[in-house]
Amino acid sequence: MGTSDEAASRIHAGDELHVVSVFTREGRGGNKTTISLDADALSAGEMQDIALRFGHESGFVSSPPEGREFDFTFRFFVPKHEMEMCGHATVGAMWILHRLGRLPQGRERVRIWTKSGLVEGRVVQDDQGSARMEITQPKGHVSPLPEPVANMARIASVLGIAAGDLAGPIQNAWTSRVKTLVPLKNAAAVNALTPDFARIENLCADIGSTGLYPYAPVDLERRLFEARQFPKSSGYPEDPATGIAAAALAFGLLENGIVQADHRSIYVHQGRAMGQWSEIRISFQMDGPRAIGCWLTGDVSECE
């Protein structure tokens, strides 16, 4: 395995390394990701070294699998391991490819191979005339918490709350990775949480989850929610914006009748407690009255 500095210097030499912040709100906040656009020559160990060096999720764009109708392969690493899918790194990589004119021309959608399966991306014009990247996630699934009584008590203990602070059942939900949705009564309760981070990894392993995602409604008419993400084992204790978790939340809200299946956007604010107030937007892909997947999007800013 090469060192992180060696791998990073190889990318810098070709001017192929980009750092962007994804899911920004009013030009601030968001979640940083480091993107390599030409990662065919990098080993998995070198990719992981780069994620470790930068301390956040990193995405790597390379050639598509032979004989498959894809445009790119995307891989994703956090400091401690590889992930099957990363929403903000995918949006960030799409944004950079678009700015550099490296997306396929003449087609509405880009087809991306990931370890979680096919992800499609598209470029749309927002109300201000700026290009916005949208990526797909498959239809979400929601399941009860295993051993709900005992594990609800464990989650409450880890988060430092009482059972009476919950606003509904705790559930596991997923589009690409399982997140544990923890409903609280208001945004103030979400942002006041002081988790026992040392206990989260074992707890998540026991309940089959990759992170706790406490959330609360802010404005139901506007479909605005506040959330935080405490990952199982990423190399950092909290994530300022988690697209995959927000997509899972959208299907949890749908399952529980809190939102309806239509094209209107759901807005998830995350990272405020970290000083990185971010905004993630999700809209359902509809087939008649049924939600068959979702689009995930948000604003992107280049980091200096």
Tell me the pLDDT tens digit for each residue of 129-178. Answer: 789 999 999 999 999 999 999 999 999 999 999 989 999 999 999 999 99
Counting residues of the chain whose pLDDT is more than 90, the rounded percentage is 88
**Total number of domains constituting the chain:** 2
Q: Are residues 226 and 281 in the same domain?
A: yes
Structural domain boundaries enclosing 47? 4-137
Q: Are 114 and 163 found together in one domain?
A: no
Calpha distance 284→301 (Å, rounded): 25
Tell me which of 115, 137, 159 is where a domain ends. Answer: 137
Alpha carbons 258 and 252: distance in angstroms, whole number: 9
Domain final position from 90, 121, 137: 137
Among 137, 153, 177, the domain boundary falls at: 137
How confident is the model over 92-107, as pLDDT tens digits? 999 999 999 999 998 8
Tens-digit pLDDT profile for residues 245-278: 999 999 999 999 999 999 999 999 999 999 999 9
Q: What is d(CA 139, CA 134) in angstroms, rounded to the nearest whole number? A: 16
Query: What CATH number is attached to the domain comprising 219?
Result: 3.10.310.10
293 contacts 134 by C-beta, under 8 angstroms: no
Do residue 276 and residue 160 come from a single domain?
yes
Residues 30 and 129 in one domain: yes
Q: Is 102 in the same domain as 231?
A: no
Shared domain check, 213 and 121: no
pLDDT tens digits, one per residue of 36-91 = 999 999 999 999 999 999 999 999 999 999 877 999 999 999 999 999 999 999 99
Q: pTM for this one?
A: 0.93
| Residue type (1 letter), 48 | Q
